[in-house]
Amino acid sequence: MMITVKDLHKSFGKNEVLKGIDLEVEEQEVVCVIGPSGSGKSTFLRCMNLLEEVTSGDVYIEGDNLTDPKVNINEVRSRVGMVFQHFNLFPHMTVLENITIGPKKIKGHSKEKAEEEARPLLDRVGLQDKADVYPESLSGGQKQRVAIARSLAMNPKIMLFDEPTSALDPELVGDVLAVMKDLAQEGMTMVVVTHEMGFAKEVGDRVLFMDEGVVMEEDTPENLFDNPQNPRTQEFLSKVL
Amino acid sequence: MEFLTESHYYRVMPFLFEGLVYTLMITIAGLLIGFVLGAIFGLARLTKNKFIYGIASIYVEVVRGTPILAQILFIYFGLPDLLEWNIDKVTASIIAIALNAGAYIAEIVRGAVYSIDKGQSEAGRSIGLNKSQTMRYIIWPQAFRRMIPPLGNQFIISLKDTSLFSVIAVSELLYMGQQYYGTTFAAFEALTMVCVLYLCITIPTSLYLRKVERRLDV
Ligand SMILES: Nc1ncnc2c1ncn2[C@@H]1O[C@H](COP(=O)(O)OP(=O)(O)OP(=O)(O)O)[C@@H](O)[C@H]1O
Ligand SMILES: [Mg+2]
């Protein structure tokens, strides 16, 4: 199993946001998470690389229990890429520096080696000509593709996406989704929180519907979108589709 | 020409230049140390560790809550009296500026680091950088740019503060002016030139800062 989540609970103060979530993600699987705003999707995703401290329950990444204090969380995080809704590129670094900072500082690669490895990644996200510009001069879609390349530079086994296209103008969504689709086809294990039902249908192996801190329903995209069983899922889908 | 070179405006200048050298030296040395103190205590005020936070807060509050004149007298007369050591005037002045500016710089550092979007450190941590790498490569460089205008402002404040050290007779700019009119009675001329020299430093600095600020805004 690439990811195993067991009875995950997360509270912010008295507010219990995740109320017992279980999940298993196999190698090369693409799991999409959908659900209304505030249902805990981001929190769930962020628990998978411990950006949020887990209140109780266990999260295993390739067998390593993240809640075990002996596990080197920095090392685990380098195996789990994360892409944010608002990109979070480093504005004081060029595109190339954004991509190479991880390999340079964590893997100890020389500048030359890190840059040599970064070029094909830029090709892959279609931004070879943007290597030396600063993020501020990029469009949202380009920024998000740089953010994906930055994660990929660490050769992660798993990629987590938190609404990667929600902050983009509609005409820029396609390029980012195309990059993600390529990744999925190359066999990347992915968990994607998304409002793009089309993407979930086409690329997802499995779709989770979350509401009020629990997974209400979980199924293949065909079944979940065309024949939802849970009334909450039905209600949600009728609003968004 | 003779009229000019005979005037007090002219004759006071060698004294004042000597004073200006001390003023600049005390300000710059004091601020360099003060920046190190400010970075340490500013970051300490951002930790979750209550003890470290407490120590840093005490330092900042004590310094900001007392006048710098009392601080210099404390360092030059108070502490040596208690500890029976000797300290020279320039060293005492540098320490006073360092400790005083350090507390204000701590607040500048804290504010600047705090103002960097949380997503930046999350992005750093999620590629696998540890806490200190994230601070060093991601947060600090961005925060530092935001510190430049307030640090420049602190430079102007500290430069003017050194004039208070005339009370311990350190040969800074104002003191040298006072020395001159003490013997010549040309107080107006001497003090005019003292102020002109302060302005020669402070006005260009603040013009430059405004330029930097505009550049950082965009
Ligand atoms: N750092 C935090 N401190 C306190 N409460 C938080 C924090 N982060 C999230 N929450 C709360 O947890 C709940 C779930 O938030 P979360 O961001 O996981 O929802 P979401 O499903 O991702 O929603 P959206 O679709 O709007 O992104 C919300 O009620 C939110 O207010
Ligand atoms: Mg969210």
* pLDDT tens-digit map of A45-71: 999 999 999 999 999 999 999 999 999
Residues of chain B with pLDDT under 70: 1-2, 217-218
Domain that holds residue B167: 2-216
What DSSP state is assigned to residue A162?
Answer: E
Select from B116, B127, B131, B138 the residue whose CB has the most chain A CBs within 10 Å, as the one to mutate to test that interface. B127
Which residue among B124, B128, B130 places its CB closest to the CB of A154?
A: B128
pLDDT tier for residue A206 given thresholds of 50, 70 and 90: very high
Select from A50, A79, A92 the residue whose CB has the most chain B CBs within 10 Å, as the one to mutate to test that interface. A92
Using a CB–CB cutoff of 8 Å, tell me whether B139 touches chain A. no
Average pLDDT of chain A is 96
Residues with CB under 6 A from ligand 1: A 12, 15, 17, 35, 37-43
* pLDDT tens-digit map of A114-150: 999 999 999 999 999 999 999 999 999 999 999 999 9
Beta-carbon contacts of A122 under 8 Å, excluding residues fewer than 6 positions away, are: A95, A96, A99, A128, A130, A131, A149
Instruction: Check residue A128 and give its pLDDT.
Output: 94
CATH value at residue B98: 1.10.3720.10
Q: Is the pLDDT of residue A240 over 90?
A: no
Strand segments (E) across chain B: none
d(CA A144, CA A177): 10
Instruction: Check residue B218 and give its pLDDT.
Output: 54
Percent over 90 (pLDDT), chain A: 99
Instruction: Check residue A221 and give its pLDDT.
Output: 96
- Which residue(s) pair with A161 in the sheet? A83, A192
Residues of A in contact with B218 (CB under 8 A): none
Instruction: Check residue B1 and give its pLDDT.
Output: 59
Count how many domains chain B has.
1
- Do A148 and B123 meet the contact criterion of CB atoms below 8 Å apart? no
Residue B165 backbone zone (phi > 0: left; psi -120 to 50: alpha; other: beta): alpha
Q: Is the pLDDT of residue A171 over 80?
A: yes
Beta-carbon contacts of B154 under 8 Å, excluding residues fewer than 6 positions away, are: B31, B34, B101, B104, B105, B108
